[in-house]
Every structure is written in C-alpha cells, then in structure tokens.
Amino acid sequence: MNLHLTHIKLAILSISMMIFTCKTSSTNSLHPVILIPGSGGNQLEARLTAEYKSSSLLCNRWYPLKKDPDGWFRLWFDPTVLFKPFTKCFNKRMMIYYDPDVDDYHNAPGVETRVPSFGSTQGLLYLNPNLKSITSYMEPLVRSLEEVGYVSGSNLFGAPYDFRYGLAAEGHPSIVGSKFLSDLKNLIESASNSSGGRPVILLSHSLGGLFVLQLLDRNPTSWRHKYIKHFIALSAPWGGTVEEMRTFASGNAFGVPLVDPLLVREEQRSCATNLWLMPSPKVFDRTKPLVITRNGSYSSSDIAQFLQDIGFPEGVRPYKMRVLPLVQSLPSPQVPVTCVFGSGVRTPETLFYGDSGFEKRPEVVYGDGDGTVNMVSLMALESAWDGRENQSLKVIKIPGVSHTSILKDGTALGRIIGEVSGINYEISTSLLRWV
C-alpha cells in the first residue's frame, strides 16, 4: 500500500514538473517580480553645482577622477572613499540635512543626486559595475530568477531609491521618500498591465521591506488586491536593530579595515533612514537595556535621550516627530506575506561603553539574529499580526545565513526561488497535498 502511494506521488510530481517546465518556457505565465533593495543596495550618482564649497583643494581637483560630460559621477559606491582624504570628500557630498523650518531633509548645498536605472535590475546587480567581483549585490538573486524563466525588463524589474531619505509619520513631509513610493506604485501598475493584468510579486531586502509595507498601507485595499500577488521580505528589520545604536554612537565601518568609524559617523548620523532603523519600542522590550554606560543605560524607549547624550541633539526632533509615530504600528496589508531570514548568527544585543564614552568601540554581548538584525525584529510581524483576519503570513528561518549572504547563499537562494515558483505554480502544491 505504501509503495502504491509512493508511485502515485511520483506520478503527480512528474506531472507537476511537466507543468512547471512548460510554464517556465513562457514569460507570460509568470507573475512579474519587482526587486526592492536595502540601504546601500543600489547605485547613486551626484553632480556639483556652483553653490558647492569644498573644504579642500584635493576634493575640488582630484575627487572624483571621472565624470560624464554633464558632470555626473558615481557617489555610491566609489572605492576611493576607503582612503582617508577622499572619505572626507565623500562624507560632505553624501550627507543630508534636516531643516526644522520645513520639517524635511535636503542634500548638502551644491550637491545634486539621482538614482540611475529605476525600473531596471542594472542598478541592483553591482554597487559598482567596474568592480563586479567585490560589489556584487543582487546579481546572484537575479541570475537565479532568470534560471526559472524571468527576463529582466520583461517581467523582472528593479526599484532602486535614494536610501538616505526615509518616510515620515502622517502630517510630516518626506518629499524624496514619498516620490519613491509614487514611482514604485507606478512601476507595479505598469508591470502588471504589461503582463496581462497579473498581479505582482514584491521581493525586498532589508530596509526595502519597510518601504514596501508603508506603500501597501498607504494604498486602498482594492488596489492591493488588484496589483499585489505576494510580498516576500528578506531580512527585514521590522523593529530596527541594536547595531544602529552603535552606528550613531561611535560610527560603523562594517568591518572595512581602512575606514575609521569616527570618520564616517557624521555622515551616518545624517541619514534619515538610519533614524528609522533605531530599535522600536513597539518591538523591543521597553525595559531591557540595549546600551549601558557608567552613567546609565538606554532601552528602546530612551532613544531620544540617547541621541542627546551621544552629542547628536539635532536628531532628537526628527526622531520624536517623524520616526517614533511611524514605528508605533506594523500595519497588516491584507495580502500574502512571506518573511525569509537567517538565524543563529551572532548579533549585537547589548552594547557596553566604558570610561572613554562613545568615542571608542563598545564591548558587545551577542544574541540571536542574522548578524545585523535581532531576532525579535525579524520576527516582529508574527506577534504584531497574531489573530489578524485576512492576513496570511509565512516565516522561513534559514540557520547560519547572515543579513547579506541571504542574497548569495545557495540554500537561501533555493528557498527564495522555491517561494516564487510556488506562488506561480500553486497547482503543484495542491496536488501533492491531496496525495
């Protein structure tokens, strides 16, 4: 009897694979996929105007070495920023500033920026196409999608953005971030319409997941049901990270040996999305110390005081007015959601700063997570949406896979592509479940 059932299962599996093979031969049968990167996950370009005032002759004459005829050059990622004199030039051009009079952020004076290749996967494959081997980002994921029938520009698209600019709570402007949501909405509609009305699969990494959740929440349910088939979020920091507190306190070189964390700290503090990634009191235990010093400790409910005490008082107002109300809820989009993330990777959980204050690297106590995002943040939707009607949520943990390696690791890519394929070919799953 068991052997008979096994034969039936194998026969149905063969039929399912035949269906899968036939469908992958036609891109028209696939739901379009739109990739939304994380912070630092796409290229940025800049151009200097007459208003720009450099602090050094070196920056004026020698950085950058290459510009196009209209003056545009690669701002992110340019490897020359790894060298100290050019790091200072980069910082000044990369920084953004909060203007309390207009309650929004803007570029440094005399610096124009743009995001190349919106709608295309080109800006997501490599952070610098001249250094493919060391700046590969979504290239392995894109190639894996292409292997199952996706074609870039036909049913596979990219949505790069200026990752320095975040969103703000209702009633507060965020011109750059809101423009990205508008562009993403238009891309979703265009991708769906060009695929015979098939709804879209949104596939995000890290910070991109927060933007997608806000996009879904800010559009009517009828629009979501018409245009969104599924939302797959990779390594999404739903409630922020403890690592972000280290970035604000003492800078973060992310393991790059030539870069002094304190040298990049000012630029990192200026980034609006970094404020958005502070540990949320909605997700992290409000009473648990995350940063401990000789003079006291800070939990997720003390972020404003923490910003004041580390010497960044200009961050207090935008955090309290724009960010804190934004993270008070994790809205349910009423479309199917799958969260895929790594686990079992040492992740900063508590930071200890000694007598030297915030100018030195802290001692770190580690906990579970993906090496960047804490497990409580990765799992936040499960508790926030518990018992919600009309909300499907699937959680996939992949042991030993880090925050960034999820885009390259063979096992992780297999699970991600399996989810995309399953969404496209649900008939196979239902047949096997019947047996």
Q: What is the pLDDT of residue 13?
A: 38
- CB atoms under 10 Å from CB of 4, counted, come to 8
Q: What is the pLDDT of residue 8?
A: 34
Q: How far is CA 289 from CA 278, 284, 344, in A?
A: 14, 10, 22
C-alpha 361/C-alpha 193 separation (Å) is: 51
Residue 28 binned pLDDT confidence (cut-offs 50, 70, 90): low
The one-letter amino acid at 5: L
Among 55, 51, 115, smallest CA distance to 86 is for 55
Q: What is the pLDDT of residue 356?
A: 81
- CB atoms under 10 Å from CB of 337, counted, come to 25
Residue 243 has pLDDT above 70, yes or no: yes
Strands of 289-346, DSSP E: 291-293, 296-298, 337-343
Residue 312 has pLDDT above 80, yes or no: yes
C-alpha 342/C-alpha 237 separation (Å) is: 12
Strands 33-36 and 200-205 come out as parallel
Residue 281 binned pLDDT confidence (cut-offs 50, 70, 90): very high
Q: What is the pLDDT of residue 66?
A: 78
Rg of the chain, C-alpha, whole Å: 23
* Phi, psi at 349, each rounded to 5°: -120, -35
Please report, rounded to a whole number, the percentage of residues in the chain having pLDDT higher than 70: 90
Among 157, 86, 160, smallest CA distance to 123 is for 160
Residue 18 binned pLDDT confidence (cut-offs 50, 70, 90): very low
Max alpha carbon distance in the chain (Å)? 83
C-alpha 227/C-alpha 335 separation (Å) is: 10
> Which structure tokens are listed for 314?
């200009």
The predicted-structure confidence for 371-418, as pLDDT tens digits, reads as follows 999 999 999 999 999 989 999 999 999 999 999 999 999 999 999 999
The one-letter amino acid at 372: T
Which whole number is the average pLDDT over 114-142? 96
Q: What is the pLDDT of residue 64?
A: 73
Residue 16 has pLDDT above 50, yes or no: no
Task: Identify the helix (H) or strand (E) that includes residue 401.
Answer: none
The predicted-structure confidence for 363-378, as pLDDT tens digits, reads as follows 999 999 999 999 999 9
Which residue ranges form the domains of the chain, and what is each CATH number?
1-6+31-42+115-234+404-435 (3.40.50.1820)
Residue 61 binned pLDDT confidence (cut-offs 50, 70, 90): low
Strands of 163-310, DSSP E: 200-205, 228-234, 291-293, 296-298
Among 248, 241, 269, 224, smallest CA distance to 372 is for 241
Which whole number is the average pLDDT over 21-27? 47
Q: Which residues are catalytic?
A: 206, 370, 403
Residue 27 binned pLDDT confidence (cut-offs 50, 70, 90): low
* Structure-model confidence comparison of residues 81 and 411, the more confident one: 411
Q: Any bridge partners for residue 105, and if so which?
A: 98
The predicted-structure confidence for 182-201, as pLDDT tens digits, reads as follows 999 999 999 999 999 999 99
Cis amide bond preceding 37, omega within 30: no
Which position has the token pair 């604000």? 248
Which whole number is the average pLDDT over 107-117? 97
Among 366, 397, 398, 367, smallest CA distance to 382 is for 397
The predicted-structure confidence for 320-346, as pLDDT tens digits, reads as follows 999 999 999 999 999 999 999 999 999
Cis amide bond preceding 73, omega within 30: no
Highest mean pLDDT, choosing among 68-82, 332-346, 352-366: 332-346
**Mean pLDDT in the chain?**
90
